[in-house]
Chain A
Amino acid sequence: MRLTVISYTIVGLMALLLLGFWKLQIVNSDRYTQLAERNRVRSIPIIAPRGAMLDRYGRVIVDNYPSFSVLLLRDDPQQVERLLPQIADGLSLTLDDIRQQLDSAKALAHFQPIVIKPEATPGDIAFIESHRADIPVLEMLMVHRRRYPRGGFMAHVSGYVGEVSSDQIEESGGRNRPGDIVGKAGLERQYNDHLMGVDGMRRSVVNNVGREVGRLEQTDAVPGKPIRLTIDYDLQLVAEEALVGKKGAVVAVDPRTGEVVAMASQPSYDPNDFAIRISKEEWQALNEDPERPLLDRAIQAQLAPGSVFKILMSTAMLESKAVPADYHVFCPGSAQFYGRVFHDWEAKGHGDVNLHKAIVHSCDVFFYNLGKQLGIDRISFYAGNLGLGHKTGVDLPGEEPGVMPSEAWKQRVFHQKWYPGETISVAIGQGAIAVTPIQIAYMVGGIVNGGRFHQPHLLLSDKPAPEIDFPISDSTVDTVTEGMYGVVNEPGGTAGASRLPGIELCGKTGSAQVISEQGLKRVGKRAELKDTAWFVGFAPRQNPEIIVSVLVQGGGHGGVAAAPIARAIVKAYYDKKQGKIPPQQLTTQAVPPGIPPSFAADTARNNKTDAEAEEAVPMKPEPVSAAPQSTPPVTLNP
């Protein structure tokens, strides 16, 4: 009897067991099939090299060099944990460092390897190769590391690359995946989709200890396409050199096309630091640096233009015909408006002043009066149409619009009434008005071009850039041009020191206060409170070919601090044009040979990085550069 019970029990247990197998093998089969597949297949990415950045003549400015990253395969955490001390020792990392990286990758799937050392040294590679058997969790990944010119040369234009952020992943609509290296700033970001290739993938069958036992398929990487810039390396070099040690920006544009031939901003940073892996501390230091090296002053510094604004005032006066063309005032050194005294920069006054003389000598009293005659809304109308108060549309991320005040603007932003006295300040480029260096180049380029505004751009293209027309009469162009020619070439012109023999350099200086006279007396004279120096120049007088806008913060007088920089660039432009200086020969190595010592010898840290970078390529692979001959540079319509 008891045996019968046991028989039934056995049959019952067997049925239960079968039921369990049914559940696993039939009901949940798909899930387990997936898991099994994931077990046996390992996908190792094949990183696509980014496209190079070439200057307008095809000289390589930014390219790549091959490098190895050390991957840690985390399929078996216990094994990893056991091997950690050995790994840390062999790769000269600290245990804490590796643990931290493991921790931060916790959210990632276990089968996804993580990079524990982005730049493998020859020693690291030897270590990994010789321990394949007993440390099977290490793997090397060939990557193409971005190589930028040293010392922050053109850094704000090129931008830098880094690991894609979650926002960018969303933005890309699935094109970018976590861990991808994408452009984070500058052109790297702007033309990321063009520069970035498509990573390939090697799918291999691995066994339970992670050793490859077969290869399933391989999708080759599609390299990114190079871009050709409008930048002229020779002029860029002059601009960078001229700005060393200063805080400011240079923008040089061909007003006939809108092509930016040089664009620099200082202080700068070294994008190479970002190319490997920037530590939290370094990033913080850059961000919190009071000099704000990450700021691209060419498109992001929004400052009062000072007397440079008088170009716009002159144009507005002539075009609006609110006052006659021979309008003139007497300048005694100051003038009173609405019960307040406004000083001229020249305390002893300029005497009787017409428009030409007002431009040449930068007479404030003339423009105070003109401002009163025009009124803020008329000034604002012309400013808006001549490129101020909104972005120029240059093909760089993060451009700032500046501020061009008007009655409506003040009402909207401050819910306050506009005071007529404020117009007087705005008339000489002070007060609520703020512009960027690129806006100044854009505005002047449009005015001297008879009102044809070409959108500034950095990508060389066969197609003309978008153009905005705001026709300006020839007589206005002539008068303004003559005034600006006088600034440099007439006796008493504010930029007389920057005269260039044989070259018709025209320009306008500006020196904008960052603090009122009274305020300055209160806090004492400090360097950071010194005037913002501006200069915008162009050449030649007729049909200008190059416009240079220069900003030097705390530089003091525009004629002293800013004009010589513009002069140097214009001179280089003509020297080159007339064949006096040969163009710099650049090879595929991105480190410009002619780079001044101030760029090369940046910091000890940079030198170390570079030394490591050179060492990291012991097997001398082909220099991976998107050489122009192999892949013709493709230009985009900006």
Chain B
Amino acid sequence: MNEGTGIRDYDWWLVTIIFAICGIGLLEIWSATHASHLAGMHWKQAWWIAMGFGFMLLLSRLDYHSVLDKAPILYVIGIIALLAVLVAGNTRYGAKRWLPVMGEFLQVSELAKLIIIVSLARFFAEVRTERLSVADLCKAAVLITVPIGLILLQPDLGTAMVLIPVVLVGAYLAGIQWKHAAVMVLAAALMVPIGWHHLKPYQKERVTTFLRPEEDPKGSGYQILQSKIAVGSGGFWGKGLGHGSQNQLGFVPVRYSDFILAALAEELGFAGVFVTLVLYTALLLRLIQNAQHAKDRAGMFLVMNVRLRRFVN
């Protein structure tokens, strides 16, 4: 990853794995939507993949250090964007999450996630110590609390929750001390009831149904239960592409994105799930390997967190 990256410098293993995963994703999106009004969505997805790949090539031409240099500016831009969405954002499904940009709606918190990661990487890289001090920890906390707080205000509990492992892994890699970690965990545990109290009813419901979907199988637990039925009915070999009844008849909710794994599990069975998860594991392990070879800690953070985020999604 030096200046003037050549073809051979790319990690072709990584690229292969990514393409395999994208391929499976495309296939399942096609299967899940080809017979519905969403037909053609896989072309859209393919287009996005191509764009993403182009973007990746472009980025790889860039030294990530220059990106890191601009982290404070990016951070400020991110905060402004989050504020803007609160003030002028589009309200959909009862939450202000979208900013109209060039005819498309941009979900600002998605962008903010990336910026938070970059900023964290920059911050931890600058600390340059094996043992994080309390002061550093506090600074890091402030750094991430502001954007997370703004995201929560939208409200977008989901995105905020996704950021938690990012922060945890970041802190772990930065060399957090065990006693600090213990204190933080304790504090977080104490915060849970207070936070719970401030949740909106539908948010509470979402958490409880996630934990116990069977309690209200036709109500709020519907999506989770239907997905479980889809997964379970797939069996070992699955029902075949385009033949999953749960998927094709629309019982699996948002089967083309959030619940695509359920759709895949129904149609391709345990075998399909196995292949997919192995691919993901390979991807992650490969990335970690790359991170170990990264020249500095900031690079390691970037690699780890960007990929980690993908996985959690």
Contacts and interface: CB of A to CB of B under 8 A. Distances in A.
B1 to A, nearest CB: 17
Nearest to B253: A208
A14 B246 contact: no
Contact of B218 (A31, A76, A213): A76
Interface stretch (A3-11, A414-422, A424-432): A3-11
B292 interface: yes
Given A40-B245, A40-B249, A76-B218, A3 B277 contact: no
A10, A36, A39, A40 pick with most chain B CB within 10 angstroms: A36
Give chain B's interface residue range (CB within 8 Å of chain A): 35 or more
Contacts of B240: none
B64 interface: no
A11 B281 contact: yes
Interface stretch (B75-83, B205-213, B227-235): B227-235
Given A18-B274, A29-B233, A10 B281 contact: yes
Interface of B: 169, 172-173, 175, 218-219, 226, 228-236, 245-246, 249-251, 265-266, 269-270, 273-274, 277-278, 280-281, 284-285, 288, 291-292, 300, 304
Given A2-B172, A39-B246, A40-B249, A7 B231 contact: no
A78 B228 contact: no
B35 to A, nearest CB: 10
B246 A7 contact: no
Interface string A291-333: 0000000000000000000000000000000000000000000
A84 to B, nearest CB: 15
B228 A25 contact: no
B249 A207 contact: yes
B218 A110 contact: yes
A26 B277 contact: no
B249 A7 contact: no
Contacts of B284: 7, 10
Given A6-B304, A26-B270, A32-B229, A208 B249 contact: yes
A108 interface: no
B229, B236, B278 pick with most chain A CB within 10 angstroms: B229
A25 B265 contact: yes
A75 interface: yes
A11 B246 CA distance: 30
Nearest to A5: B172
A40 B250 CA distance: 10
Given A3-B288, A11-B281, A25 B236 contact: yes
Given A10-B284, A11-B281, A36 B270 contact: no
B280 A31 contact: no
A205 B284 CA distance: 41
Contacts of A209: 250
Given A206-B249, A208-B250, A14 B172 contact: no
Contacts of A78: 218-219
A37 B175 CA distance: 52
A2 B173 contact: yes
- The 6 tightest CB contacts between A and B, nearest first, are A32-B232, A208-B250, A36-B233, A25-B270, A40-B245, A207-B249
A465 to B, nearest CB: 56
Contact of A21 (B218, B273, B292): B273
A77 interface: yes
A14 B279 CA distance: 11
A25 B235 contact: yes
